[in-house]
A = this chain, B = another copy of it.
Amino acid sequence: MTVTLADVAARAQVSPATVSRVLNGNYPVAAATRERVLRAVDELDYVLNGPASSLAAATSDLVGILVNDIADPFFGIMASAVQSEITGPGGRAGGERMAVVCNTGGSPERELTYLTLLQRQRAAAVVVTGGAIENAPHAAAIGGKLRRLGEAGSRVVLCGRPPADDAPDAVALTFDNRGGGRRLTDHLIGLGHRRIGYIAGPTERTTTRHRLEGHQEALAAAGVADDPRLTLHGPYDRRSGYDATLELLRRAPELTAVVAANDTVALGACAALRDRGLSIPDDVSVAGFDDLPFSIDAVPALTTVRLPLYEAGARAGRIAMGREEEPPGGIATVHGELMVRGSTGVPRPY
């Protein structure tokens, strides 16, 4: 039914091994023979059987990418960058490597499931993006899985997540969320803000905690009291920003600034303020985090911390492909850059 390597061999009058060799190009073959084989491949419209090839070679051309949700540009950009680096010849039979994108929704159970599935596929590499859940059993389970993946031959790279205990050979490119959060709030305090609302992400996530800690660090350094009533937790979405902002306004009408866990949440905050008839930044300053593409088009443009998502993803991809040296100690910190734009200004006189 479907044409196999043996058919090609027969037609080209060579042995199957030779066909395999010209296909994989990793072994000397006479030019004339190669031509003949290639022609046969073409004439028969032959397509290599990937599973068979992977089975025999004990490795595959698949690279796993774990993301919370690929529809979120934060993850989409990293995934796109990883892809751009795994592309190009290098896979089996001159083929290219392909990206298996797994939406985990941030759930550790799904992360675990997908890691197992990727191990099952004998993925050449796995890039795990996004923050980690802070929960000992889960962390241990995932760490163990990552270690076993590594032992089974997959290169493991964490992108935007702290190093995993239990998985010593996994390279980690960690975002400096704490430092970014610190600089952002420093900036607001420098402008004169003292009553600053903070809309944090979901609890039990490293990203959430680190960004929040940076904020608190800045408050403490400036001797500003950290009123717990001004910090609200919620998902990383627009709605959360909208609702939390209304709640903050209710709790503390005197507030002059709102810091959001990320840009998406910040947009929600902006919408809520507009709906309340408050002007940004004259009545209330707003800041985000990530600097996603749309942030510059907010009106006023969003002050935020730019994370080099594409660059980090690309680097993760190169390391996963063994095309870039691992950072010393297997850990590198990726810093964010404060982008001061129109959405923050001096507080209103009051």
Contact = CB atoms under 8 A, between A and B. Distances in A.
Copies in the complex: 2
Nearest to A299: B299
A10 interface: no
A51 B101 contact: no
Given A55-B49, A121-B51, A294-B294, A70 B62 contact: no
Contacts of A71: 73, 76-77, 79-81, 310
A98 B84 CA distance: 20
Contacts of A102: 98-99
Nearest to A60: B51
Contacts of A72: 76
A30 interface: no
A113 B98 contact: no
A227 interface: no
B55 A83 contact: no
Contacts of A51: 50-55, 60, 121-122
A267 interface: yes
Contacts of A50: 51, 54, 60, 117, 120-122
A120 B95 contact: yes
B122 A49 contact: yes
A108 B71 CA distance: 24
A45 B151 CA distance: 13
A69 B84 CA distance: 10
A52 B55 contact: yes
Contacts of A117: 50, 61, 95-96, 98
Nearest to A55: B51
Contacts of A100: 62, 98-101
A173 interface: no
A79 B288 CA distance: 26
A101 B122 contact: no
A43 interface: no
A316 B149 CA distance: 32
Nearest to A152: B2
A50 B120 CA distance: 5
Interface centre among A51, A101, A102 (most CB of B within 10 A): A51
A220 interface: no
A148 interface: yes
Contact of A120 (B47, B80, B87, B274): B47
B101 A99 contact: yes
A314 B298 CA distance: 30
A325 interface: no
Contacts of A76: 70-73, 76
4 interchain residue pairs of minimum CB distance:
A299-B299, A51-B54, A71-B80, A294-B294
12 contacts: A2-B152, A47-B116, A48-B120, A49-B122, A50-B60, A52-B55, A69-B80, A71-B81, A79-B101, A95-B120, A101-B101, A267-B297
